[in-house]
Amino acid sequence: MTHRHALITGASSGIGAAFARALPKSTALLLTGRDRGKLAQLASELALSSRPVRTVAADLSTAEGRQAVIAAAAEQPIDLLINNAGLGWLGPVVENPPEREAEIVQVNIAAPVEITRALLPGMIRRARERGERCGAVFVASAAAFMPIPLFATYAASKAFLLHYAEALAEELAQDPVDVLALCPGATETRFFERAHVAPGGVPASHDAARVAREGLQALGRRVVHVVGPGNYLATAAARFLPRRFVTAAAERAMRKWR
């Protein structure tokens, strides 16, 4: 890893915090998240290794929060962008809180698009000037490969990220930038608790440290990486089986989560 300055969204806990811990100590960090206290704790932990760490508490579901992150990132030469922040809500769309549905779209789609568009031109220009490469990671999901009733907006938002990253990689194929859509399955984080999933309803298939480690290893080697062989087989099947069958099977599985 040769990246000198990394921005990680959703870094307060889970996969975002795992990325911060997995990056080399030579990489300066800009960490963002909603929880100011947890960001401060993580920054204190990482600063023990004498690495530069900055934090900005921001709510990416708001335009003000997204602009605060962009402004903070403008103060240092970011060359690795990890769009990790994301959230979901389990339940039928017509019964879910409308503010939560809108929040999912803003955090999972609007935030990575706005932040990437703001930072990527400068990242590419600096990489070209230095004769190096920069990187952009989009934490999507194994859910990105199929429609998922009762998790409809979340799955659709992750499908957006997957397609966005793949298209972006092709657009920038001649530029010194590596783009990765990272697709973990159920991971040991607080995501499901926050998504209104019943305790114990989802068996986690891997931990956040593994997701971050595989993501960093895959960056520059491939455009899409699905974490875990079981998830890979499930996503492959979803692409080839009849769509109605996949959707019906997903609904049955989600009902168990409730």
Question: What is the per-residue pLDDT for 238?
Answer: 82
Q: Which domain holds residue 223?
A: 5-257
Q: Which residues of 205-237 are buried (b: 16+ CB within 10 A; e: fewer)?
A: bbbbbbbbbbbbebbeeebbbbbbeebeebbee
Return the CATH number at 22.
3.40.50.720
pLDDT given for residue 250 in this prediction: 82
| pLDDT score recorded for residue 206 | 81
- What's residue 108's pLDDT? 97
For the question of residue 38 being annotated catalytic, the response is no
The pTM of the full predicted model, rounded to 2 decimals, is: 0.92
Instruction: Specify the pLDDT at position 196.
Output: 67
pLDDT of residue 216: 97
Q: Which of 158, 164, 232, 256 is catalytic?
A: 158
Q: State how many domains the chain has.
A: 1
**Active site annotation includes 154:** yes
pLDDT in tens, the chain (258 residues): 689 999 999 999 899 999 999 999 999 999 999 999 999 999 999 987 778 999 999 999 999 999 999 999 999 999 999 999 999 999 999 999 999 999 999 999 999 999 999 999 999 999 999 999 999 999 999 999 999 999 999 999 999 999 999 999 999 999 999 999 999 988 877 776 776 676 566 666 788 999 999 999 999 999 999 998 888 888 888 888 888 888 888 888 888 777
Single-letter code of the amino acid located at 149: P
pLDDT of residue 47: 84
Indicate which residue of 25, 154, 164, 256 is catalytic: 154
